[in-house]
Amino acid sequence: MSSFCQPSLYTFTFMWNAIAVSKISRTFARMFERLQTKWKVNGTQLFLVLCVFALGGSATGYLGKIIMNWLSIDRGWLWTLVYIIIITLIWPMAVLLVSIPFGQFSFFTRYLKRMGARMRIVKENTEYRIKYPESSIQHLASGIRHIAIFASGTGSNAQKIIDHFRDHPSISVSLIVCNKPGAGVLAIADAEQIPVLIIEKDIFFRGNAYVDELRRGGIEFIVLAGFLWKIPQKLIDAYRNKIINIHPALLPNYGGKGMYGSRVHEAVINAGEKESGITIHYVDEHYDNGDIIFQAKVNITDNETPESLAEKIHSLEHKNYPKVIEQLILVPNGS
């Protein structure tokens, strides 16, 4: 009996450990992906940055103990307090020094500046960050309504909007705002010679939300086209009823935090819905919650897939979004 159970026990233990390792691996993978997105680095640079953090921390602890031995303070609350103060002061210098041979000095310079701004030790630099192409006209033409497109991805909707207003007599796409330096929409902006504003999370959510930059650029209307960050209160207050978004489903269903792209289409199909569509709405303080401006529908077939539904939705977006934007700007009260 024992000889029969023993292999089974070994098998069960092996499978349990394999599952645990798999879950831990996925957790670490997600964590590293989030860090790459947050710090805007690739995999190799992330590895180097983490090495600097580890070695810089070790050097800080080592130097801190040397200084504490030199001060000859008895262990107790005073020793602990002085040690915390010392390592807090040493750590920035330690990581900067360690970062030099790893080629990450510029990253840690920016990182420490952001930390200082968050702790209000240093003032965040909020100078005008709009990058103008060399051949662009930098003055604002009178009588033109200037709009900004906020996008995080490839920019297919942004391209359709740009095409629609290319020769428009009174509306101009005057700025592309993006939170991802490598996003495809930036290539579109470059090809179309449209100014670009790359935004940072700290300033967007804890600073002025780039309101000053947008106003200096003459922006009167904001269009979200695949922009994945929530709009902060400061920007909403500055552009009340002047910010709109397009959602790939029929709100109020299948909206909210985390509901974007293929996630929406999968949820719609899994729920057995017979139709889906697009919703263009004003942006307020909550995800996908503002007043609905326009909706259009498509039928869902029995063999529909998230990919085929996405194609139908994209067609609706490209057909309707530019027209609705134009109507809202030219006839803001719907009269």
Instruction: Give the domain-ending residue among 118, 136, 168.
Output: 118
Range of lowest pLDDT (250-254, 260-264, 290-294, 310-314)? 260-264
pLDDT(5) > 60: no
- Whether residues 85 and 225 share a domain: the answer is no
- Whether residues 181 and 293 share a domain: the answer is yes
For the segment 272-286, the average pLDDT, to the nearest whole number, is 92
| pLDDT for 125 | 47
- Whether residues 154 and 107 share a domain: the answer is no
Does a structural domain hold residue 129? no
- Whether residues 166 and 25 share a domain: the answer is no
- Whether residues 239 and 309 share a domain: the answer is yes
Range of lowest pLDDT (89-98, 272-281, 319-328)? 89-98
Collapsing DSSP to helix, strand or coil, 296 comes out as strand
What 8-state DSSP symbol labels residue 153?
Answer: S
Does a structural domain hold residue 137? no
Would you tell me the crossing angle of helices 184-192 and 156-164 to the nearest 10 degrees?
A: 20
- Whether residues 60 and 191 share a domain: the answer is no
Instruction: Give the domain-ending residue among 83, 99, 118.
Output: 118
Does a structural domain hold residue 269? yes
Confidence band of 279 (pLDDT split at 50, 70, 90): very high
Confidence band of 203 (pLDDT split at 50, 70, 90): confident
pLDDT(221) > 90: yes
Does a structural domain hold residue 231? yes
- CA distance readout (Å), 268 to 227, 279, 289, 295, 296: 21, 14, 18, 16, 15
Does a structural domain hold residue 135? no
Q: Distance of alpha carbon 115 from its chain centroid, rounded?
A: 19
pLDDT(33) > 50: yes
| pLDDT for 156 | 92
For the segment 301-322, the average pLDDT, to the nearest whole number, is 93
DSSP line for 98-151: HHHHHT-HHHHHHHHHHHHHHTTSS-------PBPPTTS--SPPTTPEEEEEEE
Does a structural domain hold residue 133? no
- Per the structure, the complete domain to which residue 299 belongs is given by 145-330
pLDDT(119) > 80: no
Burial class from Cβ neighbours inside 10 Å (0-12, 13-18, 19+) for residue 298 reads middle
| pLDDT for 138 | 42
- Whether residues 216 and 295 share a domain: the answer is yes
Range of lowest pLDDT (112-121, 145-154, 281-290)? 112-121
Please name the residues in contact with 309: beta carbons below 8 A apart, sequence gap of 6 or more.
265, 268, 269, 276, 298, 300
For the segment 25-32, the average pLDDT, to the nearest whole number, is 75
Burial class from Cβ neighbours inside 10 Å (0-12, 13-18, 19+) for residue 218 reads middle
| pLDDT for 127 | 43
DSSP line for 22-70: HHHHHHHHHHHHHHHHHHT--HHHHHHHHHHHHHHHHHHHHHHHHHHHH
Look at 128 and 261; give whichever has higher pLDDT.
Answer: 261
Catalytic residue positions?
247
| pLDDT for 128 | 41
Cα separation, 105 vs 112, in Å, equals 11
- Asked if residues 311 and 329 have their Cβ atoms less than 8 Å apart, the reply is no
Does a structural domain hold residue 323? yes
- Whether residues 154 and 216 share a domain: the answer is yes
Q: For residue range 50-87, what is the model confidence (pLDDT) as tens digits? A: 998 899 889 888 898 898 888 888 888 888 898 899 88
Percent of the chain past pLDDT 70, that is, above it, reads 83
pLDDT(162) > 50: yes
pLDDT(330) > 70: yes
- Whether residues 154 and 69 share a domain: the answer is no
Q: For residue range 7-21, what is the model confidence (pLDDT) as tens digits? A: 555 565 666 666 766
Confidence band of 134 (pLDDT split at 50, 70, 90): very low
**298 token code pair:** 């498509």
Q: For residue range 135-160, what is the model confidence (pLDDT) as tens digits? A: 343 444 557 899 999 999 899 999 99
- Asked if residues 82 and 68 have their Cβ atoms less than 8 Å apart, the reply is yes
Whichever domain contains 266, its CATH number is 3.40.50.170
Please state whether beta strands 275-282 and 292-299 pair in parallel, antiparallel, or not at all (unpaired). antiparallel
- Whether residues 18 and 158 share a domain: the answer is no
Cα separation, 93 vs 86, in Å, equals 12
Dmax over CA atoms of the chain, in Å, equals 91
Does a structural domain hold residue 136? no
- Whether residues 169 and 59 share a domain: the answer is no
Look at 238 and 33; give whichever has higher pLDDT.
Answer: 238
Q: What are phi and psi of 65, to 5 degrees?
A: -70, -35
Length of the chain: 335
Q: Which residue has the tokens 């330096």?
A: 181
Average pLDDT, the chain: 83
For the segment 109-125, the average pLDDT, to the nearest whole number, is 65
- Whether residues 111 and 176 share a domain: the answer is no
Q: What are phi and psi of 251, to 5 degrees?
A: -65, 150
- CA distance readout (Å), 49 to 29, 36, 94, 95: 16, 10, 13, 10
| pLDDT for 72 | 81
Number of separate domains in the chain: 2
Please state whether beta strands 219-224 and 145-151 pair in parallel, antiparallel, or not at all (unpaired). parallel
